[in-house]
Amino acid sequence: MKTSVAIIGGGPAGLLLSEMLHRQGVDSVVLEARSRDYVLARIRAGVLEQTTVDVLRENGLGERMDAQGHPHDGMRIVWAGRSSYFINCYEHLGKRFMAYGQTQIQEDLFAAADRRQARVLTEATDVRPMDVASDKPYVLFRHNGVDERLDCDYIAGCDGFHGVSRKTIPPTHLQEFEKAYPFGWLGILSRTAPLPDVTYANHPRGFALASMRSSNLSRYYVQVPLDDKIEDWSDDRFWSELTARFPPKMAARIQTGPSIEKSIAPLRSFVAEPMRHGRLFLCGDAAHIVPPTGAKGLNLAVSDVFYLSRALAAVYRDGSERLIDSYSAMALRRVWSSVRTSWYLTNLLHRFPTATEFDQRAQEAELDYLNGSAHAQASLAEQYAGMPFEPA
């Protein structure tokens, strides 16, 4: 088999890259390890930045998002015993957000790929990027019981944190930065009407978050110890813990119901630099992970894809390698900005098991400062909304 760009991973980064390349006349093949049903069953991110919404719309992926998603202007912060406040990104920056599930984006991407009869090979196993530092890279894999070889000009590693792409880069060429947090998030999805705002709660019992997918689909999270097991969390226990972490008036407005999904995810920050080795480029979770507190993970995957598709299109359009040569540095500037914001919000909103009285008072002072200062709110609004893309 032969193509211009071999894309490893059919998550949001891989399928979106394939779509954006196609729209700029560049051929690709996507190799996804899992089945389509498995990929579509994953419940993950839900809050899209304006830049992400714009990219999806510009690439013909906006119709269902605009019909079913929930546009909103910012985030609400509440903490025990104090009044809540709203960080209004629209007022400060003219930027909005869209609550629309990653699961739905994934469906929209598969539908778009089907319409153009894209080559998306699911259940492709033993995927191995080869000779990536040469001019003739290729990918070996197994599909339908047959060993295959895909020759290509470039390889895009869009295979998530546990994928194979990053691991093929020699350790001497890669620097990794990591921070693990001493807790996880237990998340549930329920067919109930959500609270009006995406609301982050800091409470002595731990962090909680109220979010949404649509007018009748809610997503909630509570901070849990890392060793908690999903079996320990009945729906009743979840709802009583969640509502205990919100102020009584807000808690009274939370509609409870059976969970339709429930999972625990650990929190970590991770960045691998550079995001390129020879003809292999990393995109999305393959290169970086953020704790979900800033809702940045999926948005970063989309910004990487935006930069990489623009850079590869320039190569095929006019032979210019300028943008592929600056891809890693450009993508990493936006990555580190979001890594910092996610780390800041994680520290601001969670109860750390190791926190001293001093740490606690400093956290409360920061929350008070944000509550009282329009400048502080404008700064957080700018970071939460996400930085604009850099020009080519």
Catalytic residues: 72, 200, 292, 296, 384
Pairwise CA distance, residues 76 & 200, whole Å: 6
Query: What does DSSP say about strands 119-121 and 28-31: parallel, antiparallel, or unpaired?
Result: parallel
Answer yes or no whether residue 44 interacts with ligand RFL by CB under 6 A. yes
Residue 194 interaction partner, one of ligand RFL, ligand PHB, none, beta carbon < 5-8 Å per kind: none
- The whole-angstrom separation of Cα 81 and Cα 156 is 49
Q: What is the DSSP letter of 168?
A: G
Kindly state whether residue 203 participates in binding ligand RFL, applying the rule CB under 6 A: no
Give kind and range of the element (H or E) at residue 20: helix 12-23
- Compute the distance between CA of residue 53 and CA of residue 48 in angstroms, rounded to an integer: 6
**Where does this chain touch ligand RFL (CB under 6 A) — which range of 254-262, 295-303, 318-326, 353-361?**
295-303
Q: Is residue 98 involved in binding ligand PHB (CB under 6 A)?
A: no
Contacting ligand PHB within 179-238 (CB under 6 A)? 198, 209, 211, 219
Stretch that binds ligand RFL, among 59-67, 76-84, 113-121, 293-301 (CB under 6 A): 293-301
Among 26, 295, 335, 381, binds ligand RFL (CB under 6 A): 295
- Under DSSP, the state recorded for 286 is G
Q: Does 363 bind ligand RFL (CB under 6 A)?
A: no
Residues 149-168 that bind ligand PHB (CB under 6 A): none
In the complex, the smallest distance separating the C-beta of residue 293 from ligand PHB, rounded to whole angstroms, is: 5
- Give the nearer residue to ligand PHB in terms of CB position, either 33 or 105: 105
Residue number with CB closer to ligand RFL (107 or 364): 107
Other Cβ atoms closer than 10 A to 391: 5
- Which lies closer to ligand RFL via its Cβ, residue 145 or residue 319? 145
Mapping DSSP to helix (H, G, I), strand (E, B) and coil, where does residue 278 land?
A: coil
**Of the candidates 76, 92, 296, 334, which one interacts with ligand RFL according to CB under 6 A?**
296
Instruction: Supply the minimum distance, in Å, between the C-beta of residue 118 and ligand RFL.
Output: 15
Cα angle 96, 101, 106 (rounded to 5 degrees) comes to 120
Structure tokens at 293: 């507190």
Position among 6, 29, 30, 45 found at the interface with ligand PHB (CB under 6 A): 45
Provide the b/e sequence for 342-365 (b: ≥16 CB within 10 Å): bbebbbbbbbbeeeeeeeeeebee
Q: Which residue has the tokens 């969670």?
A: 350
Q: Which residues have C-beta within 8 Å of that of residue 36, sequence separation ≥ 6?
A: 110, 122
In the complex, what is the shortest distance from the CB of residue 209 to ligand RFL, in angstroms, rounded to a whole number? 9
Of 78 and 275, nearer to ligand RFL (C-beta) is 275
DSSP code string of 309-377: HHHHHHHHHH---HHHHHHHHHHHHHHHHHHHHHHHHHHHHS--TT--HHHHHHHHHHHHHHHH-HHHH
31 binds ligand RFL (CB under 6 A): yes
Residues that bind ligand RFL (CB under 6 A): 8-14, 31-34, 39, 44-46, 102, 124, 127, 158-160, 162-164, 263, 265, 284-285, 292, 295-298, 301
Residues that bind ligand PHB (CB under 6 A): 45-47, 198, 209, 211, 219, 292-295
